[in-house]
A and B are shown apart, each in its own frame.
Chain A
Amino acid sequence: MHPVRKQRLQWILLILVATSIGIGLVVYTLRQNANYFYTPSQIASGVAPLGVALRAGGMVTKGSLHRIADSLEVSFDVSDGAARLRVHFTGILPDLFAEGQAAVVTGKLDDQSIMRATQVLAKHDENYMPPEVADAMLEAYKRPDERARVDEEPYYEP
């Protein structure tokens, strides 16, 4: 390769390496701040700041969703397997919000560590399947003899 072109190529590689290191350091520093939400464990262990609006995300615990009659008020728990967070919300839940599915809530913690949410978002996972297949999985999951063979939770519960 011609020395001049070789030098230009080296400059380009230098620019790439330098910016990668620079941005890499920024990304490393932002690793917590760039998270969209805190997990219930982080909130329980005091990592999340108190008294300011924050987001919490996790699985909506099965059987924890309660609606208060004659109002739009609901309460439910989100969990990451290790800790639980109680959430109170007044408003309309997204269509895909369901027990056993992930959700992200925005709000403030009150003095009893209950999240007073102003927004509830449903988080979808990366799985896609037709209803018949999901039904078949659910059927298989319900049969005790087959449950051992089904390693995954059913895709949804109707």
Chain B
Amino acid sequence: MTESRGNWQWLYRLGSPRWFYDISGRWLPWLSALTFFLLMTGLVWGLAFAPPDARQGNSFRIIYLHVPASFLALAGYYIMAVAGAAGLVWRVKMAFIIMKSAAPIGAVMTLIALFTGAIWGKPTWGAFWVWDARVTSMLILLFLYIGVLALQRAFHNGDVGYKASAILALVGTVNIPIIYKSVDWWYTLHQPATLKLTSAPSMHIDMLQPLLVMIGGFYVFYVLVLCLFARAEIVCQERSTVWVRRRLEGTP
């Protein structure tokens, strides 16, 4: 241990791809089982057993996909940006691998949120798409994700691509509080948040419970897919090392 590393030694252990590969391998069965259990419970409960809404009828049920996907689109962006910042400061290989793995998952979550919103918007609002502050800022989030994805593949030198896309990811974090607060700052067609940090949710408890299960399920699903993507990236980057060859051959 060199003097300059000091108390940050744990971070370097955390940043070892080999350590991550082995520990996440042990998590995978538990994460998969929990994801399956939560998503199945939430979907059956929300789609079949929760009561319909008094005004929207059954079309409100798309909330069980729309809200969890939107949560992860926003939270996943912070995960990607924080991993990118850690990579820029400490030059840890693992941080950039997490950043790279988080980008496509976040992009798909944003796409799900926009798509389910459009399907819900037609019967509820009367339009698939409107250019209000919430919907537009969410579209910008999708473009940011696509930008990060494209930029990290745009350089022959992978390290340059990582640094460039990490900076773009960091700059884009400004958009997250704008998306979150857009429905309060401006007049929008999109309604304000049903689940709030500071006050009770404006949703009946019978409809709320399956929603919370789905949000939990989406978070676990996110961690599961992040681990799988990161493991694939580790194997790809470290394919010439002895330890990867040993793992792939099945010998310890």
Contacts and interface: CB of A to CB of B under 8 A. Distances in A.
Interface of A: 1-2, 5, 8-9, 12, 15-16, 19-20, 23, 27, 31, 34-39, 57, 93-97, 101, 104, 119-135, 155-156
Given A27-B178, A128-B60, A133-B204, 19 more contacts: A2-B4, A5-B89, A8-B88, A9-B89, A15-B167, A16-B170, A27-B185, A36-B188, A39-B187, A121-B126, A124-B55, A124-B124, A127-B194, A127-B203, A128-B202, A129-B53, A130-B52, A130-B206, A134-B54
B49 to A, nearest CB: 12
Contacts of A104: 189
Interface residues of B, number: 46
Nearest to B125: A121
Contacts, number: 132
B148 interface: no
B171 A19 contact: yes
Interface of B: 4-6, 8, 51-56, 60, 63, 85, 88-90, 123-127, 130-133, 167, 170-171, 173-175, 178, 185-189, 191-194, 202-204, 206-207
A37 B186 CA distance: 9
Contact of B187 (A12, A57, A133, A135): A57
Contacts of A19: 171, 174
A12 B89 CA distance: 8
A1 B8 contact: yes
A8 B89 contact: yes
27 contacts: A8-B88, A8-B89, A12-B85, A12-B170, A15-B171, A16-B170, A19-B171, A23-B175, A31-B185, A31-B186, A34-B186, A36-B133, A37-B187, A38-B187, A57-B189, A94-B123, A94-B126, A96-B56, A119-B127, A123-B125, A123-B191, A124-B125, A126-B194, A128-B202, A129-B203, A130-B206, A130-B207
Contacts of A97: 126
Nearest to A129: B204
B189 A121 contact: yes
B124 to A, nearest CB: 5
Contacts of B130: 36, 121
A28 to B, nearest CB: 10
B218 to A, nearest CB: 19
Contacts of A94: 123-126
Contacts of A20: 174
A95 B178 CA distance: 31
